[in-house]
């Protein structure tokens, strides 16, 4: 056979042909916007390491949520930054704590238009910055933390969160929270298990965003970046415990894990394009080294191509606008 009778380039010859032949597509409904709301501020404030992202006041959060709904996004993931913190993260379960107040505000404003989601973890609320309560020896007490997570789940559900993002990486967290919700008659609340969350250096800007008090690291509970099979195992465990959705985080450095989980999971699989991934692209684009729009779209397409059904990304609203303009 003449090798030139097979010409794959025919499938790439024009924009119209490429659009028709595309294997992976992006839609605003597949995007979730993470948002930070800070107690005690009256107007939004920029986060230096994340250009274009800031801390919201309650008023600016409400306006940004409406913008996200109008953009056709699938959901919002809320993170709260309290004014005061303590060893057990009391603000996380206080009905008048910043995250629960913000959830009520957003749920009332856009709860019928998109999925209001909340981060269920203690790190933003503890004065030591860890994702759980500490034992006497300074280690994170897994089982005592599960009790706090269960209380948080009830508080967030009561505030109006439709989906709880269990990001703390405690053993048994999905089962504990599911049991607490079901016992309280809240079997309607969705659980997102951050199943394969790695101890990544790409979380750096996020630590600034939540004003983390962490000293040390989280390697005793977040996954070792060297381990691929362990990520799949964690996802299987979360699914067995009742997770409605499972997460791989970060996204871009763990596309192999994402593909493994997507090939295994009977439930939707999401990925979080984290703060460090965002910041690197923004820095390179600001220096004129890359085409910003093309790079952003390529990164999210790559995450979707690897198997993510939805992507948490700080570019969600902007990307939705680009997709509508095509």
Active site residues: 197, 249
Query: Vertex 51, ends 250 and 249: CA angle to 5°?
Result: 5
Sign of CA dihedral 282, 114, 169, 55: positive
Distance of CA 137 to the CA centre of its chain: 31
Partners of 245 in the β-ladder? 192
> How many Å apart are CA 178 and CA 142, to the nearest integer?
16
Sign of CA dihedral 133, 138, 140, 144: negative
Contacts of residue 241, Cβ cutoff 8 Å, sequence gap at least 6? 172, 174, 175, 178, 193
DSSP-derived 3-state class of residue 116: strand
Among 203, 245, 188, which Cα is nearest to 74's? 245
């Amino acid at each position: 056979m003449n090798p030139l009778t097979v010409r794959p380039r025919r499938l790439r010859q024009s924009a119209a042909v490429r659009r028709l032949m595309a294997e992976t597509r992006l839609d605003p409904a597949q995007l979730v916007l993470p948002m930070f709301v800070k107690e005690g501020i009256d107007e939004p404030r920029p986060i230096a390491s994340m250009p274009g992202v800031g801390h919201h006041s309650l008023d600016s959060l409400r306006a940004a949520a409406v913008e996200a709904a109008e953009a056709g996004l699938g959901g919002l993931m809320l993170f709260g930054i309290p004014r005061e913190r303590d060893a057990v993260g009391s603000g996380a379960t206080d009905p008048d704590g910043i995250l629960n107040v913000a959830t009520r505000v957003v749920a009332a404003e856009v709860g019928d238009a998109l999925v209001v989601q909340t981060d269920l973890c203690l790190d933003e609320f503890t004065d030591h910055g860890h994702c759980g309560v500490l034992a006497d020896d300074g280690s994170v007490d897994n089982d005592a933390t599960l009790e706090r997570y269960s209380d948080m789940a009830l508080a967030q559900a009561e505030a109006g969160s439709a989906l709880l993002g269990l990001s703390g990486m405690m053993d048994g967290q999905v089962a504990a929270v599911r049991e607490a919700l079901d016992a309280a008659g809240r079997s309607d609340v969705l659980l997102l298990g951050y199943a394969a969350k790695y101890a990544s250096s790409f979380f750096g800007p996020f630590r600034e965003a939540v004003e983390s008090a962490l000293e040390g690291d989280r390697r005793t509970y977040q996954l070792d970046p060297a381990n691929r099979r362990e990520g799949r195992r964690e996802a299987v465990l979360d699914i067995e415990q009742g997770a409605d959705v499972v997460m791989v985080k970060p996204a871009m450095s763990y596309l192999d894990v994402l593909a493994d989980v997507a090939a295994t999971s009977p439930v939707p699989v999401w990925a979080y394009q984290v703060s460090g991934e965002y910041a690197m692209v923004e820095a390179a684009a600001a220096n004129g080294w890359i085409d910003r729009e093309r790079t952003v779209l390529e990164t999210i397409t790559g995450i979707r191509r690897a198997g993510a059904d939805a992507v948490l990304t700080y570019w969600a609203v902007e990307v939705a606008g680009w997709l509508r303009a095509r």
